[in-house]
Amino acid sequence: MSEGILVIDDGGVLEILIDRPEKKNALTAPMYRAMTAALASASARTDIGVVLVGGQGDAFCAGNDLADFMSGPDGAEAALDFIRAIAVFEKPLVAAVQGLAVGVGTTMLFHCDLVYAAPDAAFVMPFVNLGIVPEAASSLLAPATLGHAKAAAMLLLGEPLDAQGAERAGLVTAVVPVDALLGHARAKAAALMAKPPEALLATRRLMKGDPALVSARIEEEARIFREALQSPEAREAFTAFFEKRPPVFRRG
């Protein structure tokens, strides 16, 4: 569907594989749009019961391609459209995560039902480090999932969480050897397909709770994100990133 996104239709499971391994699967606007379109297709098709999200190569997703993201508003809007789509998606979502899961590579997982991680998985949400704020309702869902203290370490300090820590904290369903990861996730997706579909969907809706709360937080984050992106802090953070130097932030 797009360069960088591979979509596979397999027995009622739609696989969305991020396929840009040379860039650690960093996402561009066309890649976001391809994933959003795949979710829309999976939602509309009665033969699709589960979506599996994975990454090719040694990383799951390194987050936004910052050069693409900063080149104009298209990247931010495409990212927000994907976030909205995955948040309201009503069918089970399974994720297979290896290596880096940065930014949206982690925040999208809060909307997944089963998350399997390789031992080398590393979950990082460096939004504050870049002078911006979290996305995908992660400011709501990370504390709810991980507890406030662990969420604060990740969101305020930008500290990474390894696979074992993510499993203990409740972000990851199970840690699986990397060579068995995708096969394990596919087997669990197939197991979901074998369940009574109406009971499965109803139970998922009950577990998710009020979707309006998540949608409202996504929009609030997006508003503050847009404002923060224009701030001197964000300009310094992004400039320092591209210049490969530590940023210098001034108070007052």
Helices (H), 3-72: 29-44, 66-69
In angstroms, rounded to a whole number, what is the distance separating the alpha carbons of residues 80 and 215? 11
Q: What's the pTM value of the predicted model, to 2 decimals?
A: 0.96
Work out the mean pLDDT of the chain and round it to a whole number. 96
Cα 57–Cα 59–Cα 60 angle in degrees, nearest 5: 105
Residue 166 confidence (pLDDT): 98
The answer, yes or no, to whether residue 73 has pLDDT greater than 90, is no
Of all residues in the chain, what percent carry a pLDDT higher than 70? 99
Please enumerate in sequence order all residues whose Cβ is within 8 A of that of 142, keeping only pairs 6 or more positions apart, or say none. Answer: 110, 125, 134, 151, 154, 155
Sheet strands (E) in the chain:
5-10, 13-18, 50-55, 93-97, 100-102, 114-117, 122-124, 161-162, 174-175
In angstroms, rounded to a whole number, what is the distance separating the alpha carbons of residues 197 and 115? 20
| Per-residue pLDDT reduced to its tens digit, 164-193 | 999 999 999 999 999 999 999 999 999 999
Residue 1 confidence (pLDDT): 56
Please enumerate in sequence order all residues whose Cβ is within 8 A of that of 126, keeping only pairs 6 or more positions apart, or say none. Answer: 102, 103, 158
The answer, yes or no, to whether residue 66 has pLDDT greater than 70, is yes
Catalogue all structural domains in the chain, each as residue range(s) with its CATH number: 1-178+197-252 (3.90.226.10)
* Amino acid identity, position 245: R
| Per-residue pLDDT reduced to its tens digit, 119-174 | 999 999 999 999 999 999 999 999 999 999 999 999 999 999 999 999 999 999 99
**Helix (H/G/I), strand (E/B), else coil: 14:** strand
Of all residues in the chain, what percent carry a pLDDT higher than 90? 92
Look at the alpha carbons of 217, 220, 223, 227 in this order and tell me if their dihedral is positive or negative.
negative
| Per-residue pLDDT reduced to its tens digit, 9-33 | 988 999 999 999 999 999 999 999 9
Across residues 190-200, what is the average pLDDT?
A: 98
Nearest residue to 65 (alpha-carbon basis) of 4, 134, 151: 4
Cβ atoms within 10 A of the Cβ of 113, count? 18
Residue 72 confidence (pLDDT): 75
